[in-house]
Structure 1
Amino acid sequence: MRADARKNYDQLVAVARDVVTQEGADASLRDIARRAGVGLGTMYRHFPTRETLLEALLRTSFDELTDKAAELRSADSASAALVSWLGDFVACAHNYRGVIDLMVAAIEDPGSALHTSCVTMKAAGAELLARAQAEGTARTDIDATDLYALGGALAWVGDQPALAPRVDHLFAIITGAILTTRQSPADLTA
């Protein structure tokens, strides 16, 4: 990529990260291009669809979640590792308001720009869940899809101004329902 094209790409991603964080996944692409100081044509050359732009934004966060899951696999407590990762997943999904619908759709659509990063991140969480289940500290009647759905639901709750103050409380309830031990999430993350 030419230096000027790289500069435009990096500027678009930086501005998009701020705009999508503030306004959500439906933020105006025209506004992102304007704030980045480039034309709409430049925006579409780098990101032909909204989904490709969101994939560029989310890929780094999803890769970080995948890497964190790899680190957590060697943690002493499988249940603490699972709770820690789930909390990070919820925070990541909440940082980009409105992406839950796209993430869920991307899992089912191999042609989606978000598919690979979503599937890889979901699989990383599945490994932590399976480890906790094998240890006997997580219910065996839930799977990776359930875990992904619960995390997505919590992120959605965080996007709702009237419900956002309840996210930590609901996170404790959900992790309490996933785990077979009666430790509080605070005990697991300490």
Structure 2
Amino acid sequence: MIGRFLSLEGGEGAGKSTQARAMADALAERGVHAIVTREPGGSEGAEAIRALLMHGDVRRWSPHVEALLFAAARADHVEKVIRPAIGAGTWVICDRYLDSTRAYQGVASGVDDAAILALHGFGSKGLLPDRTFLLDLPTGEGARRAGARDGAGADRFAARGADFHDAVARAFDGFATAEPDRFRRIDASAAPEQVTAALLDALSDLLP
């Protein structure tokens, strides 16, 4: 079996973690072994960097430093987890990947997209998902869901203002429009089981 690499993208509260697990369960029912991982994180080294990125004051790191840290975490994740799994015929479902860096540190924070892609080319040898699912959700609803989930424990990125998250949403929309072969848009405002069904339908052409 050919290993596949899938990523789930979208703003805060869109249900990426929930749907990653649901997709893995649905694929298992079809005889496809899939692992669920996340960014930043997914490997021992990347999880250590995650702790630096996600916690502390919003201004702890500049956008440029964040981009470098994300690229380093991703390089370790790709080297230690993602490429070996794909090579072994396993499907990889990643909760966020490169496009989140392009949206959060790039469009919303001012880091040049070409610089982010250059870091990705060096650190992760340019690896892109076979398919990226954009979970579309209005930013207001995403903020409500994230607030109910996190309470007072929001991370450095979820805690940022509405203008920032609106810019992130516009960035994801632009990426999906520019790369229709890789991206599939999924309405994340539906019931969770309906979102899972839509994800599987958008994946049907890759299934064995």
- TM (normalized to structure 2)? 0.35
Higher relative contact order (CA 8 A, sep 6+): 2
Bigger strand fraction: 2
Q: Report the structure number with the largest CA radius of gyration.
A: 1
Bigger helix fraction: 1
- TM (normalized to structure 1)? 0.38
